[in-house]
Amino acid sequence: MESRTVLTGIKPTGAPHVGNYAGMIRPALALVRRHPQDRYLYFIADYHALTVVRSADEFRQLSYEVAAAWLALGLDPQQVILYRQSDLPEVFELNWLLACVTPKGLMNRAHAYKAAVAANVQKGVADEDAGVNMGLFNYPVLMAADILLFRTDVVPVGQDQVQHVEIARDVAGRFNAAFGPVLKLPAHQVKGGVGTVPGLDGRKMSKSHGNVIPLFAPRDELRALIGRIQTDSSPPDAPKDPDASAILTMYAQFADDEQVRAMRERYLAGISWADAKRALFEAMDSFLSGPMATYHDLIAHPEKMDDILADGARRARDLAAPVIENVRRAIGKTH
């Protein structure tokens, strides 16, 4: 099979949590194991985070937390190019060039912007654009630059992120129509497995909802958070639907297939919510004990991550150089 270039990124807006692991980190690492012949670029989308982050210390720390989580959970920087978005000036040059061919109407239809406007309308705010900065509005163009800079073949995304890849294709097509066939049109690949991971309150696990379970929380905190997961009032010995349980959804991310099958049988036979939560804690505690030590060692020694990220940026820039040079030549820049 011909090798492909696969790219994915994560925005560092909070300590990595179970939802991040299930929705992005776990499937991204599994993809490398299944298709080792492909080229992988996994990046920390730190400048994307500036749409909401307003603290330099937080900005710096969040990037380290994301890098440490990926590395602790098994990312091999020899096999995957791991880099910070901000270390590639070519991304931001391409961002501007793409913005110059992107219709405003296309950005009006972007999900994040439409959601912000809808929230203002629901609240009765007179200015529908209140609280919307240009970083949020132009977010899809920067994401297109992230993707197109490497002649990416495949972008693994969740269903709610498909639009970003479609916009990248649209923008690349418009650039090519104006300046010639320079940019490669990427394809999306919807990640298999778990879709939405419920949080403590049953809604999608999200920092904005305040319902997350951090991956590397101390053991006592982890146990307490799991104890707060909302459940129904069914009796302890009553059969329970395994497919409707947030606890089992999370359990399946950290237990092996045989353990998951056995747990499903316990649900169908009748299991107390206390026992289900205890099983989830034990599975997470067992799975994360090794990565936890690695994670905290990396956080304590960020220079180790700096070396890895610097090497990743160098390798990424080597790949980006011919693409940005072709783009410059296409628009008529000769020096």
- Express each pLDDT in 88-119 by its tens digit: 999 999 999 999 999 999 999 999 999 999 99
**Could you tell me the pLDDT band of residue 253, with boundaries at 50, 70 and 90?**
very high
Query: Which tens digit of pLDDT belongs to each residue from 174-185?
Result: 999 999 999 999
pLDDT at 328: 97
Residue (of 90, 91, 96, 174) closest to 134 by Cα position: 96
Q: Could you tell me if 41 and 85 are in contact, meaning their C-beta atoms sit under 8 angstroms apart?
A: no
Residue in this structure with the two tokens 């040079």, named with its chain if needed: 325
In Å, what is the CA distance from 40 to each residue of 80, 142, 163, 286? 5, 19, 21, 29
Write down the mean pLDDT value for the chain.
94
- 69 touches 305 (CB < 8 A): no
> How large a percentage of the chain has pLDDT more than 90?
87
On whether the CB atoms of residues 43 and 146 are closer than 8 A, the answer is: yes
Q: What is residue 194's predicted lDDT score, i.e. its pLDDT?
A: 60
Here the tokens at position 308 are 């890895």
pLDDT of 286 above 60? yes
Q: 193 pLDDT exceeds 60? A: no
Q: What is the pLDDT of residue 202?
A: 87
Per-residue pLDDT tens over the stretch 56-98: 999 999 999 999 999 999 999 999 999 999 999 999 999 999 9
Closest to 280 measured CA to CA, from 211, 203, 207, 200: 200
pLDDT of residue 38: 97
pLDDT of residue 83: 98
Full strand arrangement of the beta sheet holding 187-190: 80-84, 39-44, 5-10, 154-157, 187-190
Please give the pLDDT value at position 175: 98
Residue 146 confidence (pLDDT) above 90: yes
Structural domains of the chain ordered from first start: 5-197+301-331 (3.40.50.620), 216-296 (1.10.240.10)
Give the pLDDT confidence score for residue 10 in this predicted structure: 86
pLDDT digits (tens, 9 = 90+) for 153-174: 999 987 778 999 999 999 999 9
**Mean of pLDDT values over 123-145:** 97
Q: Is the pLDDT of residue 192 over 90?
A: no
CA dihedral 50, 52, 56, 60 (to 10 degrees): -70
